[in-house]
Structure 1
Amino acid sequence: MCTGKCSRCIAFTLYPLVLISIICNIVLFFPDGDVKYAADGNITEEVKYMGGLIGGGLMVLLPALYIHLTGTKGCCGNRCGMFLSIAFAAVGVLGGLYSLIVAALGLQNGPYCKVVGLTWMTPFKNNDQYLTEDTLWGLCLEPENIVSFNTGLFATLLATSCLEVILCGIQMVNGLFGCLCGTCINKEPL
């Protein structure tokens, strides 16, 4: 496969992952579909880090656009373009890793919620078994179903950021091949 076609394929795969990351991060700001929790500051701390919006979103979108432009003609334009795609893909790897770390912390610490006694806290912060024992989820009284809400969205962010890191890593290798070995040239019959 030509390195340009591979770049284009990677970019087209990154676009939906970027969209999913951004949407998941925005939705995390509105537990139970209500804006009052974000307005009052009663949302999970890891949501405020915006790993899906900044890391898995913008920091991967810019490299995806450049990687797409690198392979627009079906074959890469030049070696310099492939070299620059390595640098852009490295930015994508960093963004994906940031999103991955924030999502992993969000899953590890659990949600910020109102518990018995009507205090807001992170009740599962020191309990790494809450993910497997759904009977503990009843500790969170408000927002309703916050544990499953956070778990589902942070797990989705974790999966998409893993894929983004892998794809940007593949583009780094692809860019290296395109830079060292040259680009493929379509030969027209005489």
Structure 2
Amino acid sequence: MTCIEGWTSFNGFFLLVLSLLAIGFNLTPLVADYVEDKRILLSPISCYEWWLPGIIGGGLLVLPAVAMSLAARKKGSCNSRCGMLTSALLSILAIVGAAYCIIVSLFAIGRGPLICDTGSYDVNDCDYSLGNLSSFESIKFDLSWLRNASCLDHYEYDYDIDSGIMKERLFDVEIDEDTQKIMHLSVFMALTIIGLLEILTALFQIVAGLLGLCSQLVRSTLQGSILL
């Protein structure tokens, strides 16, 4: 059996399931935000949901490795030395994407939902940047935002389009604070676990790809020796 089809095929299917789960979890707060206000970016649960850790990191960057791994089932391009090497290289890309998913998710858990982090409810108040990802000291794992009785202010400011005036009004959301906290923690914890599983699976596929490459090389060498 060339290309270690069974092993590679399992890795491909498992990565596909994980990538779809990552995309689904990332979409959950985005859809909830839209359902609540019928507008995106109006009252997001977290700034980090718009970094798309599950859609880009755990999803799109993993799919190329999925496609190459599943090609083994049909004994296609994965059934060659070039295919084996490509499979291993694309798995490295998947690891990079999964690592991005994990790092962003950990920062999101540490910072808590937007209502507990900045005291505001608009992405315009997000002070997050890519540079923050290199500063792991800013991650807080005490989860004080989860233990706090309430993170909400009594008032927020709303911009009146007709008058062009900022008006203070009582903060009223359809998704209550506890629901936002639970959703925030559940989404980013799930993305962290998914990212870890994707890294492990991609590592297994790298091993499978290298073994398949060695198998092809050995077979070619033996066939050449027989012809001689």
Q: TM-score category by the smaller chain?
A: 0.7 to 0.9
Tell whether 2:92 aligns with 1:90.
yes
Q: In the alignment, what sits opposite 2:19?
A: 18
Shift, 1:177, TM fit? 0.9
Shift of 1:137: 5.0
CA distance in 1, matches of 2:149, 2:58: 28
Scaled by the length of structure 1, what TM-score is found? 0.80
> Contact 1:22–1:56 (CA<8 Å) still a contact in 2?
yes
Partners of 1:82 and 1:9 in 2: CA distance: 15
CA offset at residue 112 of structure 1?
0.2
More off after superposition, 139-148 vs 84-93: 139-148
Secondary structure (helix, strand or coil) at the match of 1:104 reads helix
Give yes or no for contact 2:109–2:141 (8 Å, CA) kept in 1.
Answer: no
- Cα deviation, 1:78-119, whole Å, max 9, x if unaligned, reads 22211110111111111111111111111111110179xx74
Identify which range, 173-182 or 148-157, moves more after superposition.
Answer: 173-182
For residues 145-167 of structure 1, the C-alpha deviation after alignment (integer angstroms, 9 at most, x for no partner) is: 21111000101111111101110
Note if contact 1:24-1:52 (Cα within 8 Å) is conserved in structure 2: yes
Q: What do the CA deviations read for 1:45-86 (whole angstroms, capped 9, x no partner)?
A: 211110100010111112101111034339x51222111101
- Equivalent-residue separation in structure 2 for 1:157 and 1:95 (angstroms): 12
Q: Which segments of 5 or more consecutive residues in structure 2 lack a partner in the other structure?
A: 127-137, 154-172, 220-228
Structure 2 residue 148 is the aligned partner of structure 1 residue 136:
yes
Please identify the structure whose Cα radius of gyration is greater: 2
Instruction: Give distance in 2, aligned partners of 1:165 and 1:89.
Output: 9
Quote the sequence identity (%).
23
Alpha-carbon RMSD across the aligned residues, in angstroms, is 3.0
The Cα of 1:14 is off from its aligned counterpart by 1.1
Distance 1:24 1:51 in 2: 10
Contact 1:60 1:91 in 2 (8 A): yes
1:96-107 to 2 correspondence within 5 Å? 96-107=98-109
Q: 1 CA distance for matches of 2:85 and 2:216?
A: 11
The answer to whether the 8 Å contact 1:30/1:37 transfers is no
- TM-score of the pair, normalised by structure 2: 0.68
CA distance in 2 between partners of 1:140 and 1:162 (Å): 33
CA distance in 2, matches of 1:22, 1:4: 27
Q: Note the alpha carbon deviations across 1:21-49, whole angstroms, 9 max, x for none.
A: 00111112244652457332544121111
Amino acid at match of 1:152: S
Residue matched to 1:188: none
Task: Summarize the Cα distance change of 1:137–1:81 in structure 2 as closer, same or farther, 3 Å threshold.
Answer: farther
| Separation of aligned partners in 1, 2:7 and 2:214 | 16
